[in-house]
Amino acid sequence: MKLLRNNLLEAFCAVVECGGFSEAQFRLGISQSAISCRIRDLELALGYRVCERGRSGFQLTERGKIAYEKACEIIRLVEDFDAELLELRGTITGQLRIGIVDTVISLPGFPLVPALQRFFSKENDVNLELVVASPNDLKEGLITGSLHIAIAPFKRKRDELEYIKVCSENHYMYCGKAHELFACDTDEISPDILNNHAVCQRSYDMIVARDAKAPEPKAIVTNMEAAAALILSGKFLGVLPDHYATQWVKTGEMRLLEHPDLTWTSEFYIASRKSQAHRQAVEWFIKALLHGL
Amino acid sequence: MKLLRNNLLEAFCAVVECGGFSEAQFRLGISQSAISCRIRDLELALGYRVCERGRSGFQLTERGKIAYEKACEIIRLVEDFDAELLELRGTITGQLRIGIVDTVISLPGFPLVPALQRFFSKENDVNLELVVASPNDLKEGLITGSLHIAIAPFKRKRDELEYIKVCSENHYMYCGKAHELFACDTDEISPDILNNHAVCQRSYDMIVARDAKAPEPKAIVTNMEAAAALILSGKFLGVLPDHYATQWVKTGEMRLLEHPDLTWTSEFYIASRKSQAHRQAVEWFIKALLHGL
DNA sequence: TAATTACATTGATATATTTCATGTAAACAT
DNA sequence: ATGTTTACATGAAATATATCAATGTAATTA
């Protein structure tokens, strides 16, 4: 019983992700009938149907969903295994899966871009996958192995992960040109404004909730660009990293609401798994990240 | 680059464990030339030689050793993966790797034998592997995944493992018929005898070292039978579980050196990994183990 | 009712793997 | 030395496996 033979699982995953056999042809580079055979063989080996398909639409069965999750996992493990053994050859190879949060390219001291330059200026066979997600999803990814390295503001540290501080980011409160506070006097700005105005926050930050009477945020965003859009609308106050907001402050579309109690700092860390025979590609990339510090 | 294609790794591992191609034929059930091809393909894919072979003997290269370790690991992972997906079918299947310490069959309350009866009286497709090793090796096995369940006297508990107490074992000091203490008076028996006589111990027990002036053990054994042999020789005192020693006490070949300070108890636990989607086979076996308690 | 879509099936073809027979080189026995 | 044995390598033929192209089928849609 070998489910990993003949790329049965790769076919299965491709079919799931493409939502059907016909579309998966192009991804897999084989004919539709070959895919049909592979799924048939897989189901034959498993003894149950993994998906319903046909003109009536594509859908995973209950067992199929579980099988798909596990298949993705073992495929990643096997990829990493291949890479580990190939790296014994001397050349570094394989997938390198890196995760970051959004809106960091302009963050001063964020080491990704120079690290990429460094890393890929040496000849290698590494395939990069760069994922943008929330710190929490990134943490999950590191733990499950779907990510090798993540760079983000991690607040709670996990035992099984290793953290290296790389830089920090300052956040301030901003409002848009159309907002009533845009033209107010400086001495009107106090933490009190949070109670009188709608505020938008990044779901994972919630850094506004500093004092007890912090208001329910009126809008939750998962992404800086979304926050900027809400702020620019003039209907929301919002917290942005200064390096990001500065472009609109310059053009007069936003105003910094300056007050000592309305500033926050996040510490950015490189995180990766402890206690695991790290692959060379991973180690080298971390080295590349740290090189400029 | 797929190292898992065509059972290349299975061939490699078999060859390593059989110490050569010719012997591995029988294990793998394919011809020697087929093995030769597989190893050639593996080395071609890897880009380096994994073993030296020929009339001059079989030997892994340095990289080959690493590759072998990792190959064993991924094969186990894939086996478990197969089993997990197959179990979605309803039937429980796959490898079930169980570890115990030696000399436990006669331990009253040790749940293995009734559990085996229970478990295998229901029809299933499980392949059992029963390993005898030290508690420390068993712990390692659980953590690395080479074992699913272990039953042993675990003293230190590991966070990533789950323990269920099942029974306990009493240990006493014994000497052989030829030993000078064999015929001594009962009131001559005290912890002091440890300082005046050679003592043998199981390497992982070391339960004799209770007081500060515990002596260097003269002999270390890794196995109860070995301890019994040393004790029967009359040259060593030694600690044995009562259920094991009783056979020789009955025949007059050993004497129990009874003293309140020369008794020890080990608690036996069923251990398995926490926080891991346990396979049905594993869960069911644990249930079978607990059934009689 | 015909056309379309999405997949299944089939037989031909291509590819991969194994075996059988044989070759080679090192170790061993004589 | 010489021949023999052992352990693996190699090549051609045989076998098994996977893929493709073509076609069939069933559920939608026009």
| Residues from chain A contacting residue B73 (CB–CB below 8 Å) | 81
- The whole-chain average pLDDT of chain A stands at 88
The CA–CA distances, whole Å, from A65 to A79, B134, B273 equal 21, 40, 24
Q: Nearest Cα to A130, choosing from A108, A104, A107?
A: A104
For A5, name the nearest residue in chain B, comparing CA atoms only: B5
CB contact under 8 Å between B74 and A77, yes or no, is yes
Q: What is the pLDDT of residues A11-21, one digit of tens each?
A: 999 999 999 99
pLDDT at A212: 43
Per-residue pLDDT of chain B (293 residues; tens, 9 = 90+): 689 999 999 999 999 999 999 989 999 999 999 999 999 999 999 999 999 998 888 989 989 999 999 999 999 999 999 999 999 988 888 889 999 999 998 899 999 999 998 999 888 889 898 999 999 999 999 998 999 999 999 998 998 899 999 999 999 999 999 999 999 998 889 888 888 888 888 877 765 555 545 556 577 787 888 889 889 999 899 999 999 999 999 999 999 999 998 999 999 999 999 866 678 899 999 999 998 77
Given a cut of 60, is residue A280 above it in pLDDT?
yes
For residue B89, the chain A residues in CB contact (below 8 A) are 46-48
Report pLDDT for A192: 83
CA distance A14 to chain B (A): 17
What per-residue confidence (pLDDT) applies to A164? 94
Chain A: closest CA distance from residue B44 (Å): 11
Measured between CA atoms, the residue of chain B closest to residue A83 is B1
**pLDDT tens-digit readout, A89-126:** 887 888 899 999 999 988 999 999 899 988 988 888 88
Tokens 């966070």 belong to which residue? B159
Question: Residue A89 and residue B46: Cβ atoms within 8 Å?
Answer: yes
Q: Within 10 A of B15 (CB to CB), how many other CB atoms are there?
A: 28
Q: Is residue A5's beta carbon less than 7 angstroms from any atom in nucleic acid strand D? A: yes
Contact list in B for residue A81 (CB cut-off 8 A) is 3-4, 70, 73-74
Inter-chain touch A88–B1, beta carbons under 8 Å: no
Q: What is the 3-state secondary structure (H, E, C) of chain A?
A: CCCCHHHHHHHHHHHHHHCCHHHHHHHHCCCHHHHHHHHHHHHHHHCCCCEECCCCCCEECHHHHHHHHHHHHHHHHHHHHHHHHHHCCCCCEEEEEEEECCCCCCCCCCCHHHHHHHHHHCCCEEEEEEEECCHHHHHHHHHHCCCCEEEECCCCCCCCEEEEEEEEEEEEEEEECCCHHHHCCHHHCCCCHHHHCCEEEECCCCCCCCCCCCCCCCEEECCHHHHHHHHHCCCCEEEEEHHHHHHHHHCCCEEEECCHHHEEEEEEEEEEECCCCCCHHHHHHHHHHHHCC
pLDDT given for residue B219 in this prediction: 76
Give the whole-angstrom CA distance, residue A94 versus residue B80.
24
Question: In the structure encoding, which two tokens stand for residue B17, read together?
Answer: 């464990």
Q: What is the pLDDT of residues A32-76, one digit of tens each?
A: 999 999 999 999 999 999 999 988 889 999 999 999 999 999 999
Residue of chain A minimizing CA distance to B88: A63
Show Cβ contacts of residue B219 under 8 Å, excluding neighbours closer than 6 positions.
B198, B199, B200, B201, B230, B236
Mutate which of B7, B10, B41, B74 to disrupt the A interface (most A C-beta within 10 Å)?
B74
pLDDT band at A275 (very low <50, low <70, confident <90, very high): low
User: Span A130-149, mean pLDDT?
Assistant: 90
From the CA of B50 to the C1' of C24: give the distance in Å: 21
Q: C-alpha angle with apex A174: A170 to A177, nearest 5 degrees?
A: 150
For testing the chain B interface, which of A9, A78, A88, A127 should be mutated: the one with the most B CBs within 10 Å?
A: A88
Report the alpha-carbon distance of residue A179 to residue A235 in Å, rounded: 6
Cα(A86)–Cα(A129) distance, rounded to whole angstroms? 19
What pLDDT is recorded for position B54?
84
Residue in B47, B86, B88 nearest the CB of A89 = B47
- By C-alpha distance, the chain A residue nearest B47 is A89
Contact of B2 with A83, CB cutoff 8 Å: no
Nucleic strand D contact set for A 144-203 (CB, < 7 Å): none
Compute the distance between CA of residue A106 and CA of residue A248 in angstroms, rounded to an integer: 14
Tell me if B63 and A88 make a contact (CB, 8 A cut-off): yes
- Beta carbon pairs, A and B, within 8 Å: 68
* Paired residues of B266 in beta bridges: B169
Short-list B195, B197, B200, CA closest to B182: B197
Q: How far apart are CA A206 and CA A127, in angstroms?
A: 35
Check A77 against B77: CB less than 8 A apart: yes
B158 touches B140 (CB < 8 A)? no
Joined tokens for residue B50: 């994994």
Nucleotide of closest approach to A52 (CA, C1'): C7
Amino acid A111: pLDDT: 94
Question: Which residues on A lie below 8 Å from B78 (Cβ)?
Answer: 4, 74, 78
C-beta atoms surrounding B95 within 10 Å: 16
Q: Using pLDDT thresholds of 50, 70 and 90, give the confidence band for residue A217.
A: low
Å between CA of B31 and C1' of D4: 23
Q: Does position A277 have pLDDT exceeding 80, yes or no?
A: no
- Provide the 10 A C-beta neighbour count for residue A219: 16
| B185-224 residues near strand D (Cβ < 7 Å) | none
Residue type at A239?
V
Tens digits of residue pLDDT in B17-57: 999 999 899 999 999 999 999 999 999 999 999 999 988 88
Chain C positions with an atom below 7 A of a protein C-beta are 4-10, 16-21, 25-27
Residue at token pair 């390096």: A243
DSSP state letters, chain B: --TTGGGHHHHHHHHHHHTSHHHHHHHHTS-HHHHHHHHHHHHHHHTS--EE-STT--EE-HHHHHHHHHHHHHHHHHHHHHHHHHHTTSS-EEEEEEEE-SS-TTSTT--HHHHHHHHHHS--EEEEEEEE--HHHHHHHHHHTS-SEEEE---SPPTTEEEEEEEEEEEEEEEETTSGGGG--GGG-STTHHHHS-EEEETTT-TTTTSTTPPPPSEEESSHHHHHHHHHTTS-EEEEEHHHHHHHHHTTSEEE---GGGEEEEEEEEEEESSS---HHHHHHHHHHHHT-
